[in-house]
A and B are shown apart, each in its own frame.
Chain A
């Protein structure tokens, strides 16, 4: 009897052991790309992923703008944290410097998301209207990122779908990249809404945004007529696009006024003191705005410390007319220390006025680390630049008189003065001033060309625009000469208008050869 019981038990045990087990994984909370895209919201999430990734420290958060301002003549190196940024300032960047790789990586990371979103559009079941709008937004992002890449590196791999065989990819000539950028932007201009449906959100594109970037792309390419046309289209439609200049220049650089500013056409959104995940490296975070800290005054006690890393040369400050309200907004020349207010000659580390635009009113920020992760959005395009593009391009096609008017609009706003009132800093309210005066109407085309570039330099000071002006107008030999604002004897225009392709990318993918000239 017992033997039989034991036999039953044994059989039961063996039956249990033989039962099948499924070893497939079913991750919940982690999405696989196939099968994810079901509706418009899913695609929108992927497009949003582009914005979040652009707002990472490797791209618009820190690395990209810092590399640009370092190469420009408006900002010199202050404290050098041996991070590789100073090489941009001194034109000694090598293919193994980490920033050409980091920026490249960040840009192509965003492109990967944009292409995934475009793939997503093909997967969803929505009306053509919805699909076109989504595709337009994704293509806008793609164009903007390629515009950054092509200006920095020249000929680059151009990928526009998710199925590309990476090992077979070759470089696309810069001119062809520009053509693809224009094509994407024209599609975007056609299918994006006139105002962003989310209460005219300024960090998401609309028709006006696409037209603005198109104007900038054409300006860079020297297609003056196209540049003028697009800028003019934005100016003519400013009402319906809801664009206008801010009254007080300082308000453009107050984190609490940026979100609804009519002047801001496009920027990256940051939320203060918050961080995204980055398991790999806690120094490369999403939502990581550090320009405030990088420009800020190291050692100052009020309101926050900074790193004194990107500090204008003294000449930039000294050559700027004191009567210009924009100078007040752009510089910190006095600041509170533990022992009271000090002027820049007594700054603890770098005895030069520091840039103030991104630091002074950057809102909530991470206090214990000198104020990075600030609330300050990084503006990429604003309406004043559209006016200046129209002016510059208009002048080139013979419409100098009209162009003068655009510059005067920008100057008129500067003359209004405004209220800074930065607690304890000596910066208060500034009455309207006659400076900068209107440009006289009889100015020659040649003089105006220089004037508008100078106007861009001051109006857009420290806003990471200057380097591309130097590059597209070939001003390098002039501005980095001994008489320039920031002499850089190592500057070589046949080499330095492009940064090197990352060495590791060439090593891994020989199709990328040759390296950019001179590197």
Chain B
């Protein structure tokens, strides 16, 4: 394979070597009856020149012929435009084409009162040389050095057309005015929208795959921790979900559903060509492209199956020095609370279980509201300062960002510093070099959340469950602890006496060189270095229940991840007679990963709490030390061929051949092909007369991509250590760890995509729709082996799941006048289904598993993997209310006043056979709707996002609703069954009740949320120019202002233990926040 690829590259090289090189400024052209456009683009190909022109004024479709040999550019242009009114101006590499202004009548002596005005650029500077013509006539003028123009004999109903190279042409109705001022807006005319695809860019109209683009404007609508968060609701098929509201918490992202059960579903993130990189802050990102179908992702081979997110960071522009400063300040409150019993209600309830436990319940009054104790107003500040610009040879972009968050729970916070710098230089006429460098430091000061039960009590968990009858401190000044159930500190002590800090540092650098080798042949090489390191420390003070038992407990761990990537690829473009367009890319890459970690856990018995985790030598309790190293390599060959026939029929073929050290020895190499076809109907003759349709394209693609789910060394037999002690000392001990599987390989996903892109009325309305079907096979499973072998399982490739869905993205410029309203909406439907599962031991072909973190719920099964059902389906008993007097209780079930469950296998016994499917965490659809309004200096953004039809297990309410006297309860238990109050769905308090998982705790998690509303004001240009500013805007915004949901927990937008198998779970999350933000954007 490798050899044939080399031959292929060599043959390209040889063919092109014959055709000869263009000289630095001398070009050779040979065209017969070709369009001007084709000739100009050939000149662009051969040289570093590029053309700017107004298509409305320059006839690029005009056919002409030219045969020149080694001629300078001016001679060639003279030849091309001989006999036309086109003039040109060469400014360094930029050639501006414009109509000869002498063809206009130019008379500045006429009385100015007829019609006059000033034309300025966006930055407020007067624009000379702007063409102003009266529409439908040849009458017109050109602005003078001060940007002023004068016209006479203008009919009152005339329309003025203002045009200028590099600016968008504007039409203004005269409407009897005598003075019209115009601000021209930048537009690189003639350059179509270009999107990044893997290893290159493509004109959007030539795309054959399904690619969603998100612009920098959408990413910075409201302050976000990172760009992943900003993607939420912005693109069809992309589900972004907050996992926890804690400062610094991550977001889950999945593209077109989850492709795996045991492996991850995170998409591959590629930043400026560097795979598996970290995204810089939203403010430093120029654009994000999301590759969704196999035709787009297969070029990333064994890492493409979960979709690919391509991030392009900002860069400087030639000749435009600018400074931008953005800053915002937000105030945050918890999005919602859970109402729990007050002290009197709690004491009354406990006395029902344990009579006399509290002497006089009413004497406790309201007691302590622990949620009041732990919550505060959070604060978030974000600052970004960037400097960019460039000369003709060098462009640069430098940016610094500082983000600081004070959490809404006491003693929690997060801060982040980052720097982004992008530099590109033309060192020789045919060589560009550059670097993209990103560095980031984060510091997380955390509190416990989303943990509880036997593992570790957490602050939100305790704030709900801790008894309200006591305060923070006992009389002796020590912290109060639970007197029933698991012994735990109060939430205040948990928040303040656990010192938990996590810092991380990222340095990511990309160095590239681009070489123009031959006509149409370019080569790009990228060398990337990425280093991520981090440290976590935790100290549990001896004042706590946990730390007190051992005189303080400390943990400290370090990790370091580094990888080196080298990407090298050729691109070749050719155009034959304007009929056949060919674009080929072929390359080679190498990436190596190195991960090391070291941890010191459970150092105990400290002389003082003052050392935290910074003097582990002072601990007399012996800690557990651990360290590990993982290394892997990925070597790839890849290629793509785009062929277009008259831009009408477009074909794309890609292939990647990946060799990974992680794969088992019999399967080191993997091949991932794809193909796509698109039909641009607008290029067909029969569409010519239909002016209302501006775009119509059908797309179809099929391909295979992989998920490199195998971890390093997973295919090998190994010995692992066993924790073994002897008289208080840990001694060396090992055991066989895993059985080898020499055939272990990637999970592969075959995807079919059919799509359509429609644009109406000059693309005022756009619609993109896609249908896809993905089948992922060779899913990794730990397949059971007979236990008497000494092993439990062997990792094998077994199992198949399917995702299919529909996606729609619609955009409209609803209002385009003074009041401008642009709207974009997307909606995605995905269906997830297990097609084949590993033959499972006891449970037939289904796998039951549990995730309840609750006290007394170990081993409780709550979910099921079953063929025909979605991954992570909820499974349990059906709650039928309270068992009333006179009804017969089930064997193993509760008596009168207790929980009554449906006896599905009607045998009078409550057992595992009575469980059934209770719901699915997968939403029916997710959607986002973004609206941008502007009116004069005001702009308004309204962004609504939602999820419909998914269900959620509310473990928090399950824990608080058990009523067995071990914790406080939610307020709804006030309606509990008692001898005198029997007409209710809430069972009686029962000390011996264990956790039974039923649909009582499964809820609809649908929501629609006003994610953001921003009102901005742009200061008047005249005002800010006096302050020497380019632009200035202030805004006020609110995030998560309101939510429509029927979910009874705190918030449906959370994810406890988030993974493919565990979705739609809610437990003791750090609440998401509502915030109000004020901000400023300054340009200089």
Contacts and interface: CB of A to CB of B under 8 A. Distances in A.
Interface of A: 2-3, 6-7, 9-10, 13-14, 16-18, 21-33, 36, 41, 44-46, 48-53, 55, 79-84, 96, 98, 101, 104-105, 108-109, 111-113, 115-116, 156-157, 159, 166, 169, 198, 201, 203-204, 259, 269-271, 273-277, 282-283, 285-287, 299, 301, 304-305, 338, 348-349, 364-370, 502-505, 507-509
A112 B730 contact: no
Interface string B63-94: 00000000000000000000000000000000
A108 B790 contact: yes
B979 interface: no
A101 B787 contact: yes
B211 interface: no
Interface of B: 2, 6, 9-10, 13, 17, 21, 354, 430, 454-457, 483-484, 486-488, 515, 517-518, 523, 525, 545-546, 548-550, 568, 588, 590, 602, 604, 621, 624, 626-629, 631-633, 635, 637, 659-663, 665, 668, 712-713, 715-728, 730-737, 784-792, 841-842, 856, 858-860, 991-992, 994
Contact of B722 (A6, A7, A286, A370): A286
Given A2-B21, A6-B515, A508-B784, A259 B736 contact: no
Contact of B546 (A159, A271, A368, A508): A368
B1027 to A, nearest CB: 50
A166 B712 contact: no
B734 A368 contact: no
Contacts of A24: 661, 665
Contacts of A166: 785-786, 788-789
Contacts of A26: 631
A8 B146 CA distance: 53
Contacts of A370: 486-487
B724 A504 contact: no
B668 A507 contact: no
Contacts of B792: 105
18 contacts: A7-B17, A17-B6, A21-B590, A24-B665, A32-B718, A33-B736, A36-B734, A45-B734, A52-B735, A104-B787, A108-B790, A159-B790, A166-B785, A275-B602, A276-B723, A364-B549, A366-B549, A508-B786
A305 to B, nearest CB: 6
Given A108-B789, A509-B788, 4 more contacts: A21-B635, A23-B635, A30-B720, A81-B858
A348 B628 CA distance: 47
Contact of B735 (A109, A348, A366): A109
B733 A81 contact: no
Given A18-B6, A25-B716, A283-B858, A52 B841 contact: no
Nearest to A258: B727
Contact of B717 (A32, A105, A283, A368): A32
A273 B734 contact: no
Nearest to A301: B483
A109 B624 contact: no
Nearest to A84: B859
Contact of A368 (B456, B633, B712): B456
B786 A505 contact: yes
Nearest to A30: B718
Given A33-B736, A305-B487, A367-B546, A269 B517 contact: no
A23 B660 contact: yes
Contacts of A305: 486-487
B459 to A, nearest CB: 15
B272 to A, nearest CB: 20
B842 A504 contact: yes
Interface class of chain A by DSSP: loop
A116 B633 CA distance: 32
A430 B234 CA distance: 77
Contacts of B484: 299
B991 A105 contact: no
Contacts of A83: 858-859
Contact of B713 (A17, A25, A45, A159): A25
A27 B661 CA distance: 11
B987 to A, nearest CB: 17
B628 A29 contact: yes
A368 B486 contact: yes
A93 B523 CA distance: 70
Given A157-B788, A364-B550, A367-B549, A201 B735 contact: no
Contacts of A13: 523, 525, 568
Contacts of A508: 784-786, 841
A44 B737 CA distance: 17
A367 B548 contact: yes
User: Which of A23, A108, A365, A502 has the most B CB atoms < 10 Å from its CB?
Assistant: A23
A457 to B, nearest CB: 30
A109 B859 CA distance: 21
Given A21-B659, A29-B629, A113 B859 contact: no
Contacts of B13: 10
Nearest to A339: B357
A501 B976 CA distance: 45
Nearest to B718: A30
A508 B842 CA distance: 10
A113 B787 CA distance: 13
A166 B792 CA distance: 13
A198 B726 contact: yes
Contact of A113 (B354, B732, B735): B735
Given A13-B568, A112-B791, A369 B785 contact: no
B523 A18 contact: no
Q: Return the 10 tightest CB-CB contacts between A and B, nearest first.
A: A112-B790, A276-B723, A52-B724, A504-B841, A48-B733, A367-B549, A52-B722, A49-B735, A17-B588, A31-B719
B719 A367 contact: no
Nearest to B730: A271
Given A13-B525, A338-B483, A30 B789 contact: no
Contacts of B549: 273, 364-368
Contact of B787 (A2, A98, A108, A368): A108
B716 A32 contact: yes
B668 A18 contact: no
A111 B518 CA distance: 68
A137 to B, nearest CB: 13
B517 A116 contact: no
Contact of B733 (A21, A52, A282): A52
A58 B717 CA distance: 23
A321 B602 CA distance: 44
Contacts of A80: 994
B550 A111 contact: no
Contacts of A270: 725
Nearest to A349: B991
A13 B586 CA distance: 12
B728 A259 contact: yes
Nearest to A46: B734
Nearest to B787: A105
Contacts of A48: 722, 724, 731-734
Contacts of A349: 991-992
A368 B487 contact: yes
A198 B859 CA distance: 40
Contacts of B734: 31, 36, 45-46, 48-49
A23 B590 CA distance: 11
Nearest to B856: A81
Nearest to B592: A21
A117 B842 CA distance: 32
Contacts of A25: 631-632, 661-662, 712-713, 715-716
B403 to A, nearest CB: 34
A274 B727 contact: no
Given A9-B515, A17-B588, A369-B486, A273 B604 contact: yes
Contact of B517 (A6, A304, A502): A6
A44 to B, nearest CB: 8
A159 B788 contact: yes
B723 A36 contact: no
Contacts of B602: 273-275
